[in-house]
Amino acid sequence: MAMTQIDPAETGPQHVKILDAIIVGAGFSGLYQLHVLRDRLGLSARVLEAGAGIGGTWYWNRYPGARCDSESYYYSFSFSKELEQEWEWTERYPEQPEIMRYLNHVADRFDLRRDIQLETRVTGARFDAAANRWLVSTAGGEEYSAQFLITAVGCLSTANVPKIKGLDAFAGRWYHTGQWPHEGVDFTGQRVGLIGTGSTGIQAAPVIAEQAAHLTVFQRTPNYSVPARNGPMDAERRQQIKADYPEIRAKSRASTNGHPFDLSPRSALDASPEEREALYEAAWQQGGLRFRATFRDLLSDVQANETASAFIRSKIREIVHDPAVAERLTPVDHPFASKRPPIDSNYFETFNRDNVLLVDVRAAPIQEITPLGVRTSDAEYKLDILVFATGFDAMTGPLLALDIRGEDGASLRDLWSAGPRTYLGLQTAGFPNLFTITGPGSPSVLTNMPTAIEQHVDWIADCIAYMRGRGLQRIEATSAASDQWVEHVNEAANATLLPMASSSWYLGANVPGKPRVFMPYAGGMAKYAAICEQVAADGYPGFQLGR
Ligand code: NAP
């Protein structure tokens, strides 16, 4: 459709650059949102990206072992059939450099770079209600005015470095996995400490252990993990996938988690112990996140879940030679997959190495970081390098860092002081023309991210096209619709076992002082997409549209 063409270089009276849309972030979501708004709708749009390169989470997370937990063939864009056919994935799970090559290829193929401004950190965004426009400012002192502000900042992009006394005085080097140096870190001959045993720590530990002189893993909460079983993608499999893409994508969209898996229709409790064991064993051998799909009720029934949890615990005891170490690695305080389940390559096996030590910091908490290393309540561990795999201020952190102020200057931070409140995870009352891709209240982190991202980007683009077609200038979620949605998000979470993991980042529990609210929408990708589609088909109930 024809749109007002405004030269992005055009400047207003105070050198404010005028655009139709500003997109913040150049990861999967920002790249696709730019392509759709610019090339499908004809809007003037620009991506502002803090990093010196595109890639979003994959630009920053370059830690040893960084690899996607979703399989390459579906952790990818589906919007271009040509792209699907021409790109050749080399492994079952893509490694960080391969995803970066893919995203850079996408940026080139769709000529996106000319509208992406790198090394540009957004420091504030203010809504001008009289003009129905967002005024966006950057750390470099630039000002933009855009009708639409679209955050594509990711859910896991604000590193959480715990405030442990003494870090400043540490004589060695320290790193957070989410801000990994681009030149890499050489662990050769070094005594390395790793704090954190989430998905990241579980990927990093085996790789660091192979290179370092010694690795000490500081574990607060033991975690379940299933083998990834990574391997090369052979030519035959690649061809088959390419031929099957329409079905694969349709299956992903029709699923709960955005993965093209068949969820078993059976309850774990309907199978005999022998049958269950055989099915879990087969899933363990196959590897990956599809272990969760072995039975339909692993995330909704505590007893059913316990059969899977017990199976993984028995595997840990089988793999780890020292029974005391195995016991310390065995999760008991939450059901399997109530936290985001990691998958691994030789994680538990790593603790059989002579140069690896597991320290239980729940039993003996970290007291301080000394110049020489980490001191717990019962020992000091001497280290040359300390790695924080301590996660992120998830979902709300990256949005609040933008200092967004809506109508009457109200700040998003104040509005969300008791937890995020959105309508469909897409909009927040009081913040017209602001769209959040994979925001809190959307399935986002509970899904294969590209599936969720494409659904959001397309919905936002359709909404903008609808507005433009009718001469509408603003759209804003109503408070009533937001309240109802927040209630529905809570109901959906409570229908699952997910809230049982009381220390999970889904609940914000990993960041001291953060409100404990279950943030993602657990009703499933397919159900969520159907709700969004219906809202659009019905003329956007729950939103106020105006001129
Ligand atoms: P995470 O799941 O939040 O894990 C953080 C770890 O650090 C936990 O073991 C936590 O212990 C520990 N920790 C935090 N503060 C601590 C402290 N003060 N003292 C001791 N331990 C502390 O973070 P993550 O591993 O980076 O993963 C975050 C998410 O990123 C994942 O769940 C996943 O969604 C995504 N991710 C994806 C991939 C992939 O697809 N390849 C890879 C990595 C991450 P507690 O459990 O006790 O809090």
449 lines ligand 1 (CB under 6 A): no
450 pLDDT above the threshold of 70: yes
Query: Are 54 and 28 contacting, i.e. CB atoms less than 8 angstroms apart?
Result: no
Average pLDDT across the chain, whole number: 96
Question: Which residues are CB-neighbours of 485 under 8 A, at least 6 positions away?
Answer: 422, 423, 424, 441, 542
pLDDT band at 3 (very low <50, low <70, confident <90, very high): very low
Nearest CA to ligand 1 atom 12: 196
Residue 90 and residue 106 in contact, taking contact as beta carbons nearer than 8 Å: no
pLDDT digits (tens, 9 = 90+) for 470-483: 999 999 999 999 99
Averaged pLDDT, 178-185? 97
Tell which residue, 340, 473, 382, 455, has the closest CA to residue 77. Answer: 455
Angle at 457 (CA atoms; ends 454, 463), nearest 5 degrees: 135
- Opening angle at CA 105, ends 100 and 106, nearest 5: 100
Q: Which atom of ligand 1 is nearest to the CA of 199?
A: 25
Residue 142: which residues within 8 A CB-CB, separation 6 or more?
A: 17, 120
Ligand 1 atom nearest residue 93's Cα:
41
Ligand 1, from 157, 220, 224: best to mutate by most atoms within 8 Å of Cβ?
220
User: What are the sequence ranges of the domains in the chain?
Assistant: 13-158+393-539
| Pairing of the two strands 474-477 and 543-546 | antiparallel
Give the separation between CA 224 and CA 202, rounded to whole angstroms. Answer: 10
CB of 220 sitting under 6 A from ligand 1: yes
- In DSSP notation, 334-388 reads S-TTSSPPPEESSHHHHTTSTTEEEEETTTS-EEEE-SSEEEESS-EEE-SEEEE
pLDDT value at residue 65: 97
> What value does the mean pLDDT take over residues 301-306?
98
CA distance readout (Å), 137 to 17, 145, 187, 376: 10, 9, 40, 44
Counting every residue written for the chain, the total comes to: 547
Residue 199, ligand 1, Cβ within 6 A: yes
Q: How far apart are CA 112 and CA 31, in angstroms?
A: 7
**Contact residues for 310 (Cβ-Cβ < 8 A; gap 6+):** none
Would you say the CB of residue 67 lies under 6 angstroms from ligand 1? Answer: yes
The stretch 411-435 carries a mean pLDDT of: 97
Buried b (16+ CB within 10 A) or exposed e, 200-214: bbbbbbbbbbeebeb
Ligand 1 contacts CB of residue 43 (under 6 A): no
pLDDT in tens, 208-237: 999 999 999 999 999 999 999 999 999 999
Q: What is the mean pLDDT of residues 412-432?
A: 97
Region 289-308 average pLDDT = 97
Q: Is the minimum distance from the CB of 225 to ligand 1 under 6 angstroms?
A: no
H or E element that contains 126: strand 122-128
Q: Which residues pair with 183 in a beta bridge?
A: none
DSSP per-residue codes, 236-282: HHHHHHHHHHHHHHHHHHTSSSSS-----SS-GGGS-HHHHHHHHHH
What's the 464 CA to ligand 1 centre distance in angstroms?
Answer: 36
The conformation of residue 39, written as its DSSP 8-state character, comes to: I
- Partner residues linked to 138 by β-bridges: 122
pLDDT on residue 5: 42
For 7-61, the pLDDT digits (tens) are: 444 555 568 999 999 999 999 999 999 999 999 999 999 999 999 999 999 999 9
Does residue 75 surpass a pLDDT of 90?
Answer: yes
Q: What is the pLDDT of residue 11?
A: 52
For residues 449-473, b (16+ Cβ closer than 10 Å) or e, as one string? bbbbbbbbbbbbbbbbbebbeeebe
List the beta bridge partners of residue 128.
Answer: 133
Phi first, then psi, for residue 174 (nearest 5°) are -135, 150
Instruction: Please give the distance, rounded to the nearest whole angstrom, from the Cα atom of residue 243 to the centre of ligand 1.
Output: 37
Ligand 1 atom at minimum distance from 177 CA: 26
Q: Say if CB 525 and CB 256 are below 8 A apart.
A: yes
Tell whether ligand 1 has an atom less than 6 A from the beta carbon of residue 134.
no
Please name the residue ranges forming H helices in 35-95. 57-60, 81-86
pLDDT at position 77: 98
| Predicted TM-score (pTM) of this structure | 0.96
From CA 217, how far away is CA 61, in angstroms rounded? 19
Confidence of residue 6 (pLDDT cuts 50, 70, 90): very low
Is the CB of 69 within 6 Å of ligand 1? yes
Whether 201 is in the pocket of ligand 1, judged by its Cβ within 6 Å, is yes
Mutational test site, ligand 1, from 510, 511, 519, max ligand atoms within 8 Å of CB: 510
For residue 25 and ligand 1, the question of a CB distance below 6 A is answered with no
Region 275-285: mean pLDDT is: 98
How far, in Å, from the CA of 417 to the mean position of ligand 1?
Answer: 23
Q: Which of 69, 91, 155, 199 to mutate to test the pocket of ligand 1 (most atoms within 8 A of CB)?
A: 199
Query: Looking at ligand 1, which residue's alpha carbon is closest to its atom 23?
Result: 391
Q: Is the pLDDT of residue 367 over 70?
A: yes
Answer CATH for 13-158+393-539 from 3.30.230.70, 3.50.50.60, 3.40.50.300, 3.90.1170.50: 3.50.50.60
Evaluate if residue 505 carries a pLDDT over 70.
yes
Tens-digit pLDDT profile for residues 150-181? 999 999 999 999 999 999 999 999 999 999 99
The answer to whether the CB of 41 is under 6 A from ligand 1 is no
Distance 132 CA to ligand 1 centre (A): 40
Q: How far apart are CA 211 and CA 194, in angstroms?
A: 14
Give the Cα-Cα-Cα angle 245, 71, 336 (nearest 5 degrees).
Answer: 125
Give burial (CB, 10 Å; 0-12/13-18/19+) of 489.
Answer: buried
CA of 347 to the centre of ligand 1 (A): 15
Q: Rg (Cα) of the chain, in Å, rounded? A: 24
Q: Determine the pLDDT at residue 15.
A: 87
CA-nearest residue for atom 16, ligand 1, is: 390
Question: pLDDT at residue 398 above 90?
Answer: yes
> Greatest CA span in the chain, whole angstroms?
75
CA dist., res. 231 & res. 240, Å (int): 17
